[in-house]
Amino acid sequence: MRECQNVPIQPVFMHGLGKALPKDSFILVPFFVDIFIGETFKFIDDRKVFMDEVTNRLNTLRDEGDFKEW
């Protein structure tokens, strides 16, 4: 894993994919999909710290959205 330490990680949160491509469907349904792209960051060589960072960044992106109930 050390050879990947300098590769930038781009967090992306997507909302609405379940409506746009319902389970077992082969055709996209015309619904809006929200995509939030966060700031890049580098790999952290501690699994727990790294996963906490990924979770925090994705939660931050999720919280930027104003999602309506389906």
What confidence score (pLDDT) does residue 1 get? 53
What confidence score (pLDDT) does residue 70 get? 62
Euclidean distance between CA atoms 23 and 26, whole angstroms: 9
What digits encode the pLDDT tens for the residues 9-50? 999 999 887 777 777 877 777 677 889 999 999 988 899 999
Helical ranges in the chain per DSSP H? 17-20, 47-63
Domain boundaries, the chain: 2-63
What confidence score (pLDDT) does residue 44 get? 86
